[in-house]
């Protein structure tokens, strides 16, 4: 079986797929033969991802999706299943952040971040898992972070949300393993994406200095981990939070 046939006849859903890690993941699933639901609030970015997939001979559908809305997630999932006939894989990757010390962070900003990063992952799994059970099994990958394992000044909301993603992942994995649905998370270190580019240079330099591999990661490297976790090679892997961090957490 060639790489392009690995996920042939399967359907994948990727959130935050309009740029960065999500775009790379959508392209990777499509390159392995899956039809992909490209989900994002950024219409221009999402449609660009679809165009790239189609230009490479793949199948994809853009779904404007605010993951913090249960109704929007349900509509995206229903449209994807109506179009392609099922759901087998998901990479719940949409995320955002807010920078402020804990004692200065507004309630509105804290809530906004958790609604996307944590509630969004829950809502996606809430609507994805029943469809995967109907399909006889499936695999979900949630994007956590190195900050799911430690703390980071000025990132209270982001850190709290990613700790929550790790907990949700492990809980769902325990609940559904015996029914054929595997649930894992990937914890990226410093990856060069549009979102990380918005951080102050000194903060990025501090994180990168701890990635003992000596360089920043690329979105395609996280996508490779996500597709591996969804593949048969990872059939024994569930409940894992896989660090793809250049050795950051080995300190």
What tens digit of pLDDT does each residue of 200-238 get? 777 777 777 888 998 889 999 999 999 999 999 999 999
Q: How far apart are CA 51 and CA 136, in angstroms?
A: 31
Other CB atoms within 10 Å distance of the CB of residue 235: 9
Which residues make beta-bridge pairs with 182? 139
pLDDT at 2: 65
Find the length of the chain: 251
**Two tokens, residue 181:** 């649905």
pLDDT at 91: 99
Q: How far apart are CA 170 and CA 167, in angstroms?
A: 5
CATH class, 11-244 region? alpha beta
Catalytic site residue from 84, 158, 190, 248: 158
What tens digit of pLDDT does each residue of 168-211 get? 999 999 999 999 999 999 999 999 987 777 767 777 777 778 88
**Which helix (H) or strand (E) is 174 found in, with range?**
helix 156-176
Q: How far apart are CA 232 and CA 83, in angstroms?
A: 25
Q: How far apart are CA 32 and CA 10, in angstroms?
A: 10
Active site residue 158: yes
């Amino acid at each position: 079986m060639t790489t392009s046939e690995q996920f042939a006849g399967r359907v994948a859903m990727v959130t935050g797929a309009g740029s960065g890690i999500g775009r790379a993941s959508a392209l990777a699933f499509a390159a392995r033969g899956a039809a992909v639901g490209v989900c994002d609030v950024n219409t221009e970015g999402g449609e660009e991802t679809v165009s790239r997939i189609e230009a490479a001979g793949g199948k994809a559908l853009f779904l404007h999706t605010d993951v913090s809305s249960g109704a929007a997630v349900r509509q995206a999932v229903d449209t994807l299943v109506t179009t392609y006939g099922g759901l087998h894989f998901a990479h719940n990757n949409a995320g955002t952040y807010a920078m402020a010390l804990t004692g200065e962070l507004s309630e509105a900003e804290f809530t906004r971040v958790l609604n996307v990063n944590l509630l969004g992952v829950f809502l996606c799994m809430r609507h994805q898992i029943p469809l995967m059970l109907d399909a006889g099994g499936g695999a979900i990958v949630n994007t956590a972070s190195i900050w799911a394992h430690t703390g980071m000044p000025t990132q209270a909301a982001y850190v709290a949300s990613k700790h929550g993603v790790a907990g949700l992942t492990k809980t769902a994995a325990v609940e559904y393993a015996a029914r054929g649905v595997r649930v894992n998370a990937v914890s990226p270190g410093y990856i060069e994406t549009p979102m990380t580019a918005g951080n102050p240079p000194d903060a990025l330099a501090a994180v990168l200095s701890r990635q003992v591999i000596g360089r920043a990661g690329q979105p395609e490297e996280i996508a490779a981990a996500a597709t591996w976790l969804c593949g048969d090679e990872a059939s024994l892997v569930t409940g894992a939070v896989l660090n793809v961090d250049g050795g950051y957490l080995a300190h």
